Amino acid sequence: MAKEKNALDEGLDPQVAGHLKVVRSRHPAHLLSIEELRRDIDRIGVYYPPEPVKDTRDVDIPGPAGKIRVRVYTPEGKGPFPPIIFYHGGGWCIGSLGGYNSICSALANRIPAVVFSVDYRLAPENPFPAAIDDSYAALQYFSRNAANFNADPVRLAVAGDSAGANIAAVISLKAKEERGPRIAFQALIYPAANIAHPVTESYELFGKGYDLDREMIEVFRAHYMPDKKDWVNPYASPALAKDLRGLPPTLLITAEFDPLRDDGIKFAEQLKRAGVPVKHTLYKGVIHGFLSFTTFPAAQRAFDEIAAAFRAS
């Protein structure tokens, strides 16, 4: 008997629909081990290879628990370029420098900018707040040393997707509260803004069968924050911060078929109410993680928008 077609799928971008057909034929992701999930997400870097840039190199910087590996993407041109510290996605448990070569090289070329991709510690081996500690250490280091990479520290920015967008938002909040490095701009791509209360209409509509399932969100959260009291910490759920005033100008991107869509939309509204200059764009027909499919037209449009926002900041 043929499987009943999901009526919601009629609004999907055809290329995204093709991707989902493959995803839905696989073993459910939440039943895989973290090691298997890490190998799976890293394949994106093979399917969607990076763009050529002038230089790509890895550097080790000091961190709170030892050295932090950072991949530096330098574009063609004279510079100095804006420095962008990028935090990869993957539910704080998976994702790697290699898996994000395509996104980071595209950002370096489009803006153009020097992109610093941070290999922060992952859960469950290193639960909250290890990722935040490493990510903030990277911000501090590159704010002091940007000129050594042909980058202008005055234009320092942060960016990330999914869990990485959560980290970027937290780093902006932490820098404001601790009077740390000034961040000129932040790009938050389908962020997880409220880990404590993720249930929204989009969470219910798209929490099954659209690549990022509810069960996977809960697995990631349990690994990242095994102590439930941490869920309401603003450095885990930035949407729960008491005061969002003074955060940097923000571009916030959401995806129509994403369980985190409404979470991101609500956070954009919170930032606007706090007086933060915000541009929010909802990309129709696409799913969580669509920016990684760098050859898709929707991803290309998003890269153009992100680059224009950075240049205007």
Q: Could you tell me the two tokens for 272? A: 């606007």
- Amino acid 24 reads R
Q: How far apart are the first and last CA of the chain?
A: 55
Residue in 143, 159, 60, 45 with CA at minimum distance from that of residue 108: 159
Instruction: Catalytic residue, from 19, 88, 223, 288: name it.
Output: 288
Torsion-angle region of residue 99: left (phi > 0), alpha (psi -120 to 50) or beta? alpha
Residue in 123, 304, 148, 308 with CA at minimum distance from that of residue 222: 123
Round to whole Å and give the CA distance between 89 and 258.
Answer: 14
Q: Could you tell me the two tokens for 114? A: 């020097």
Exposed / middle / buried, residue 77 (Cβ in 10 Å: 0-12, 13-18, 19+) = exposed
Instruction: Catalytic residue, from 134, 258, 262, 263: name it.
Output: 258
Asked about 19 being catalytic, the answer comes back as no
Asked about 13 being catalytic, the answer comes back as no
Give the DSSP H or E segment for 187.
strand 185-189
Round to whole Å and give the CA distance between 35 and 168.
Answer: 25
Q: DSSP alpha helices (H): ranges in the chain?
A: 14-24, 34-42, 44-47, 101-110, 130-145, 163-177, 201-206, 214-224, 261-273, 297-312
Instruction: Catalytic residue, from 96, 105, 117, 162: name it.
Output: 162
Asked about 292 being catalytic, the answer comes back as no
Strand partners, 109: none
Strand, coil or helix: 50: coil
- Catalytic positions: 162, 258, 288
